[in-house]
């Protein structure tokens, strides 16, 4: 199904899960941190965000005990019906291994949850000894009791792949073990609510059917993809080392995706100013960094984080020279302007 991009397809599925205003709201277990647009998307669809914390000390891994805790806590205030997973993680850069994926699927099977798996950064995995493994692949190699019953919707997007890089908006989703009667409503909503430009459809066709060795463009295509992967890997390592050397910052290594998600100890000057202005301290930090150094970073996920727990989102999908300029500006601001 070729549609506009990941977010519209996700919204279509979640709207189908939502209930009427007088009913108990549907809950979707959602990782914290999560994509910064996710809370608004769920709210717009009329469902409740059920937060579960990723384990920062373990490289932002998914923790089974935390999933059970979040589910137990949510029951009574909403009806949890789905589990959202981002793999590779956005914005954490964590990439799940086979065992972790299998555990999550078994959890979803036991609790009768629909799996919503965001796999849009699957082509951007660069962690040493780590590869992208799709949830569908793991599911299909499990016992029939699970492989033929667990409901799975996976999402992929051209705009998050090497050739799109957010400039082209198209994507698709694959639905596994979904009731045919439900599929009818999915297809109806996709036909009426979502469309994508012809250029996006052509580029998406190229993404899923790339040039083959016999094609004239194969060598050029391969070189560009390898260069993009190498740049991401080098940038991730360089930025992580730089951030960990800054006082008041710590950063887990990224295994994939296009972001680093460092923890930030915000200088007291900014905390006091944020209180006066009645804004979040990390938001003010990013605003001041942009105004003074021309460096644009994203404030961390505000939803579900404890007080005083701050993070930044740093995009590393840039040229190495550009990254050096960004790091220099960030370092100067953090060390000298507001220590």
What pLDDT digit, counting tens, does each position of 118-134 carry? 999 998 999 888 899 99
Same-domain status, 227 and 203? no
In whole angstroms, what separates CA 112 from the centre of its chain?
23
If asked whether residues 78 and 226 sit together in one domain, one would say no
Rg of the chain taking only CA atoms, in angstroms: 21
Taking residues 92-103, report their average pLDDT: 96
Domain match, 41 and 176 both: yes
257 and 200 in one domain? no
Domain boundary (208, 236, 251) is at 208
Q: In the prediction, which pLDDT does 3 show?
A: 45
Q: What is the CATH number of the domain that holds 78?
A: 3.40.640.10
Say whether both 199 and 109 belong to one domain: yes
Query: In this predicted model, what pLDDT tens digit does every residue of 191-230 receive, in sequence order?
Result: 765 667 788 888 888 888 999 999 999 999 999 889 988 9
- 139 in the same domain as 19: yes
244 and 168, same domain (yes or no): no
Exposure string (b/e) for 209-238, b if CB count within 10 Å is 16 or more? eeeeeeeeeeeebeeeeeebeebbbebbee
Work out the burial of residue 143: count CB atoms within 10 Å of its CB; fewer than 13 is exposed, 13-18 middle, 19 or more buried: exposed
Strands 26-32 and 79-86 come out as parallel
Residue 118, domain extent? 2-208
Which domain-ending residue is among 178, 208, 238? 208
CB-based contacts of 67, cutoff 8 Å, min separation 6: 29, 52, 83, 104, 107
183 and 175 in contact (C-beta within 8 Å)? Answer: yes
Give the residue-averaged pLDDT of 244-267.
Answer: 93
Q: Is the pLDDT confidence value at 135 over 80?
A: yes
Q: Is residue 42 part of a domain?
A: yes
Number of domains within the chain: 2
Check if the beta carbon of residue 171 is closer than 8 Å to that of residue 140: no
Assess whether 41 and 164 both reside in one domain: yes
- Give the CATH number for residue 277: 3.90.1150.10
Among 161, 181, 208, the domain-final residue is: 208
Pairing state between β 152-157 and 114-118: parallel
**Residue 213 within any structural domain of the chain:** no
pLDDT for 176 beyond 80: yes
pLDDT tens track for 6-23: 466 788 888 888 876 667
């Amino acid at each position: 199904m070729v549609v506009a991009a990941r977010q519209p397809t996700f919204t279509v599925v979640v709207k189908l899960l939502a209930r009427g205003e007088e009913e108990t709201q549907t809950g979707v277990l959602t990782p914290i941190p999560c994509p910064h647009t996710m809370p608004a998307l769920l709210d717009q669809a009329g469902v409740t965000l059920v937060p579960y914390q990723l384990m920062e000390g373990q490289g932002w891994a998914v923790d089974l005990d935390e999933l059970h805790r979040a589910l137990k806590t949510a029951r009574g205030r909403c009806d949890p019906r789905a589990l959202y997973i981002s793999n590779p993680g956005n914005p954490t850069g964590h990439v799940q291994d086979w065992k972790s994926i299998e555990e999550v699927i078994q959890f979803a099977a036991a609790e009768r949850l629909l799996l919503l798996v965001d796999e849009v950064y699957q082509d951007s995995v660069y962690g040493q000894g780590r590869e992208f493994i799709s949830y569908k692949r793991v599911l299909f190699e499990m016992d029939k009791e699970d492989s033929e019953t667990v409901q799975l919707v996976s999402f992929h997007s051209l705009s998050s792949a090497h050739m799109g890089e957010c400039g082209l908006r198209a994507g698709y989703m694959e639905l596994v073990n979904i009731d045919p009667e439900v599929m009818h409503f999915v297809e109806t909503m996709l036909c009426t609510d979502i469309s994508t430009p012809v250029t996006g459809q052509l580029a998406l066709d190229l993404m899923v059917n790339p040039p083959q060795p016999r094609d004239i463009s194969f060598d050029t295509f391969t070189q560009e993809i390898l260069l993009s992967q190498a740049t991401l890997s080098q940038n991730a390592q360089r930025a992580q080392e730089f951030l960990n050397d800054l006082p008041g910052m710590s950063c887990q290594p990224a295994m994939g995706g296009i972001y680093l998600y460092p923890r930030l100890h915000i200088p007291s000057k900014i905390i006091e100013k944020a209180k006066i202005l009645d804004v979040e301290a990390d938001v003010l930090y990013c605003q001041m960094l942009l105004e003074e150094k021309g460096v644009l970073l994203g404030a961390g996920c505000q939803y579900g984080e404890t007080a005083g727990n701050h993070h930044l989102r740093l995009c590393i999908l840039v040229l190495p020279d550009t990254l050096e300029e960004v790091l220099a500006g960030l370092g100067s601001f953090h060390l000298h302007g507001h220590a």
